[in-house]
Structure 1
Amino acid sequence: MRAVLALALLAATAAAPVPPSQVEVWLTLPDKSALLARQAPLPLKRGTAGTITVDPAKRYQRMVGFGAAITDASAYLIQRRLNSQHRTALLRELFGSEGLGFAFTRLTVGASDFSRSHYSYDDMPKGQTDPGLSRFSIAPAREDVLPTARAARTINPELAVMISPWSAPGWMKSTDSLVKGTLLETAYAPFARYLGKTVQAFAAEIGPIDYLSIQNEPDFEPEDYPGMRLSAAQRARIIGDHVGPEFARMGLKTKILDWDHNWDKPEHPLGTLADPAANRYVAGVAWHCYGGDVSAQSKVRDAFPDKEVFFTECSGGNWSGPWADSWSWTLRTLVMGAPRNWARGVLLWNLALDEKYGPHLGGCGDCRGVVTIDSRTGAITRNPEYYALGQASRFVRPGAWRIGATNEPGGIETIAYANPDGSRVLIAFNAAAAARDLTVSAEGHRFAYRLAPQGAATFRWQRPR
């Protein structure tokens, strides 16, 4: 019932076309007295003076969208711990235009740590191999993940889908196991076919697969869940000599992303992209938040400006401090910071986890989902990450351009977009310790607002005529 009531509340205040000469305001405050709460509209008046300038003539990247990963754990909870009415209500709340409007998601190829068992799509007994992939099957994904993704895409047909493997099948690896190890050279070609068959099989179930990274976190070998180490040189050869040509042979339009790991080692994607064969097939670079600084995205993009940028994983959890700190960090660093450093899409990790931070098998024991689904009652808790993502995802639509927006000296951080429907969106965060008066100037018009300390507001208005 709580999911249904929440959806009704969102729908009642959902953003309709903006009336002329008005600016919509949606506010979140650190004390939770306002959570994506619609405020009284502001007048949009003629004028050019402002402390913040929004400039649609300055265009940067075109957005794919915001969202979170439909992991095995998330899909299991949505499919098995909610009845059909509450399942539909929650998915509409997360992916629907009357809710948060998530337009980007990530699926795992085989198991991650947030799976109830460890598996690939072509497991073999120890010592046996299957180079012809005669045992290939995506049956595990058909249980919960693909039905959830299909339902999400039905709600939002613009939903972009990325997929990532945590490990190749064990028989392809130096450990003959899903855990630890690297890919055997003799398995480069079978691994490319494995990925191609996965793209084809997933597409037959849910529609086009837009992006694929060939390995999640390739500079890390987890001790207790699937993982696989691949150097930049290995990835360059696997992509340039095998995955790229195999996808071309199969006629696949799925774009290949490199890295899919932390900000602290930009030399990895720089190394892969420096290889001419790999560069030909790599469409972009994916990033995670668990080390380094978001500015690494711009460093690599500056070196290879023809490559797309995506932010594809970060998780909140018990370690991330009080609600206000978790919310503001996610908003400032990921929702605002990643696009300011060229990200076309921003993904958090688990869409949903339960009250025990699972289900999971190995790996993170205190990660938090965007929402928490109580495994006993089905009650939904909306976490700080929900409100941080929503400050952008509800208003920035697929195809929007990130446009110019100045910050206000002394504490106001901003990012702005021009939507395909002509609406303008400005997200502002007040990093100062006191309320700040800001005046926004855009295209010969202006509006004013007083923003509470550590608060965030999203402003939306129609292009002046």
Structure 2
Amino acid sequence: MSTSFRLAMTGAVAAALATTLLPPATAAEARQASGTIDLGEQLQPIDGFGVSQAFQRAAVMNGLQGLTPENQQEVVDLLFSQENGAGLSILRMGIGSSSDEVYDHMKSIQPTDPGGPDAEPQYVWDGYDGGQVWLAKEAQSYGVERFYADAWSAPGYMKTNGSDANGGSLCGLPGASCDSGDWRQAYADYLVQYVRFYAEEGIDITDLGFTNEPDWVASYASMEVTPEQAADMVKVLGPTIEESEFGDLNLVCCDSFGWEEQRAYSEAIEADPEAAGYVDVHTGHEYASAARSPLPTDKPVWMSEWNPDGDAWTEGWDDGTGYDGMSIAEDIHATLSEANANAYVYWLGASIGQTRAFIQMDGADYRVSSRLWAMAAYSRFIRPDAVRVGAESGSDGVSVTAFRNADGSTVVEILNTGNATVNQTFDLAGGDVAGTGSVYLTDATHAVERTGDAALADGELSVNLPGRSLTTVVLD
């Protein structure tokens, strides 16, 4: 789909008995709200937050269109650094299917037909993969451990339409017969070989998907797969993974172009005990429908791709476009709190032109949108293996989520969607939280900026929430 950015921003909290850099609101300016945070109410675990740099966007980050070495490092830092960037913890890669490598294509590791599905494979590997190998190594140096490789399509010679673009189905799936034969096993072997090439480069792919937006036909790499066909392919790829040296590799399905549309795929897999046993992660996008209810599975669920529609590059926090920073923050909140997603993966972290990515690359230079800081307010502080815990604001204009990290720290994310300042208090229950913490503000003039310290008094946290802001409180 179109280019996008991941952003996270945090807001300032003035806690009881704590100093804050924000001026106190007067009674006339602020309203009162009282809520709760229940550390004992454990909800879904969090696998992480991420982006993709598929379709050679990683190569652009690596200087393909002139980005200077200094700026390359700054862009990588903005995406993956926990100190001054978003601290992203998931990188989603595109498994290529094209026979060429012109810009915006992803070249296949087997660009030509080896002579049929039973022929000896003729794999080709350049050790770069459109910049994705370079970027994966950079991300790994920042501590990233979750690498999700996903195929938009099989190579054209494996499909009913003879092209990796414009839909078509994988030969051998139910209802998709071809004169060339059944390519299901060859395709499964092909995908595992991609994982093997990355292992040789020192990158452990942790999650593997065989389809992207199987219910959407695009003019670029795309492949049609019905829910029933997806369950069938799972029963070929699953054993292939188990019999390989990558037995711990997670099988992922199915990246529908809408969250509600993914429901049919998850239902088909769960209805087939054999298929259900192989799928480790269920994934859906948000283009056709937003992630606002849980998917029908007990397995982890990821919102694995989205950026909002739009026709212009913007950098504003709250500009009314629908693809500003505030809009991204609201979507992250709803995806985690209503769909119970275990991960949130935005579309492109950095791209070119009139993009909704977090960062716009323009020749030697780059620019940053507030979308990045909307993501960073969540991804920098909520780390893999965190658990979402119960949280209620007690106010229609204030939305809150809370998380307990594996190191024991508590992160509270608070969105004030109204225009007025809110004096918010939270009663803390269900666990021990003591001492002081840090308050970060993200709004029109702050980008995950620390604005003060927060402290607890008598089991209560007090928070001063500016209008149209995202406030992050981190309690150690």
TM-score, length basis structure 1: 0.80
Tell me which of the two structures has the higher relative contact order, counting C-alpha pairs closer than 8 angstroms and 6 or more residues apart.
2
Deviation at 1:151, TM superposition (A): 1.1
Matching residue's letter, 1:304: T
**Residue deviations 1:391-438 (CA, integer Å, cap 9, x gap):** 101111111111111132221101110112221111111122422221
Alignment partners' CA distance in 1, 2:145 and 2:234: 26
Alignment partners' CA distance in 2, 1:37 and 1:407: 17
Matching residue's letter, 1:315: N
- Give the equivalent residue in structure 2 for 1:348: 346
**3-state SS, counterpart of residue 235 of structure 1:** helix
Question: Which of 327, 330, 336 is matched with 1:329 structurally?
Answer: 327
Q: How many residues align?
A: 404
Matching residue's letter, 2:461: F
Unaligned runs of 5+ in 1: 1-27, 29-34, 358-366
Percent sequence identity over matched residues?
Answer: 22
- Give the equivalent residue in structure 2 for 1:244: 238
- Give the equivalent residue in structure 1 for 2:445: none
- Give the equivalent residue in structure 2 for 1:230: 225
- Give the equivalent residue in structure 1 for 2:109: 121
Matching residue's letter, 2:390: G
**Residue deviations 1:308-355 (CA, integer Å, cap 9, x gap):** 11111012453489732422221112x21222222121111111112x
Q: 1:304 to 1:159 in 2, by over 3 A?
A: same
Alignment map for 1:150-165 (pairs within 5 Å): 150-156=137-143, 158-165=144-151
- Give the equivalent residue in structure 1 for 2:449: none
Matching residue's letter, 2:306: C
**Residue deviations 1:272-304 (CA, integer Å, cap 9, x gap):** 2211111010112101010123124x1x2xx42
Alignment partners' CA distance in 2, 1:122 and 1:455: 49
Alignment map for 1:174-185 (pairs within 5 Å): 174-179=160-165, 180-185=167-172
Residue 139 in structure 1 maps to residue 126 in structure 2: yes
Question: Which of 209, 215, 237 is matched with 1:213 structurally?
Answer: 209
Alignment partners' CA distance in 1, 2:245 and 2:345: 27
- Give the equivalent residue in structure 1 for 2:439: none
Deviation at 1:102, TM superposition (A): 0.7
Alignment partners' CA distance in 2, 1:388 and 1:133: 48
- Give the equivalent residue in structure 2 for 1:451: 465
Alignment partners' CA distance in 2, 1:133 and 1:227: 25
- Give the equivalent residue in structure 2 for 1:17: none
Question: Which of 44, 51, 70 is matched with 1:61 structurally?
Answer: 44
**3-state SS, counterpart of residue 260 of structure 2:** coil
Deviation at 1:206, TM superposition (A): 3.9
Alignment partners' CA distance in 2, 1:105 and 1:144: 13
Deviation at 1:40, TM superposition (A): 7.5
Alignment map for 1:373-384 (pairs within 5 Å): 373-375=361-363, 377-378=364-365, 380-384=366-370
Alignment map for 1:262-411 (pairs within 5 Å): 262-265=258-261, 266-296=263-293, 298=294, 300=295, 303-305=296-298, 307-316=299-308, 318-319=310-311, 323=316, 324=318, 325-326=322-323, 327-333=325-331, 335-340=332-337, 341-354=339-352, 356-357=353-354, 367-375=355-363, 377-378=364-365, 380-411=366-397
Q: 1:208 to 1:384 in 2, by over 3 A?
A: same
Alignment partners' CA distance in 2, 1:129 and 1:120: 16
**Residue deviations 1:142-198 (CA, integer Å, cap 9, x gap):** 451111111111122x43111110110111100111112000000111111111111
Question: Which of 174, 184, 189 is matched with 2:185 structurally?
Answer: 189
Q: 1:129 to 1:316 in 2, by over 3 A?
A: same
Deviation at 1:66, TM superposition (A): 1.0
Alignment map for 1:417-428 (pairs within 5 Å): 417-428=403-414
Deviation at 1:95, TM superposition (A): 0.8
Alignment partners' CA distance in 2, 1:433 and 1:70: 35
Q: 1:440 to 1:200 in 2, by over 3 A?
A: same
**Residue deviations 1:120-151 (CA, integer Å, cap 9, x gap):** 221226x9546445222232744511111111
Alignment partners' CA distance in 1, 2:102 and 2:357: 11
Matching residue's letter, 1:459: V
Q: 1:225 to 1:128 in 2, by over 3 A?
A: farther
Q: 1:139 to 1:372 in 2, by over 3 A?
A: same
**Residue deviations 1:194-222 (CA, integer Å, cap 9, x gap):** 11111111222242211112200011121
Alignment partners' CA distance in 2, 1:41 and 1:203: 47
**3-state SS, counterpart of residue 62 of structure 2:** helix
Q: Is the 8 A contact 1:50 1:446 kept in 2?
A: no
Deviation at 1:36, TM superposition (A): 4.2
Matching residue's letter, 1:229: E
**3-state SS, counterpart of residue 43 of structure 2:** strand
Deviation at 1:86, TM superposition (A): 2.7
Q: 1:44 to 1:284 in 2, by over 3 A?
A: farther
- Give the equivalent residue in structure 1 for 2:255: 260
Deviation at 1:229, TM superposition (A): 0.3
Q: Is the 8 A contact 1:255 1:282 kept in 2?
A: yes
Q: Is the 8 A contact 2:349 2:357 kept in 1?
A: yes
Q: 1:90 to 1:119 in 2, by over 3 A?
A: closer
Q: 1:220 to 1:85 in 2, by over 3 A?
A: same
- Give the equivalent residue in structure 1 for 2:428: 442
Q: Is the 8 A contact 1:146 1:206 kept in 2?
A: no
**3-state SS, counterpart of residue 346 of structure 1:** strand
- Give the equivalent residue in structure 1 for 2:400: 414
Alignment partners' CA distance in 2, 1:345 and 1:120: 28
**3-state SS, counterpart of residue 230 of structure 1:** coil
- Give the equivalent residue in structure 2 for 1:23: none
Matching residue's letter, 1:110: G
Q: 1:420 to 1:259 in 2, by over 3 A?
A: same
Q: Is the 8 A contact 1:118 1:225 kept in 2?
A: no
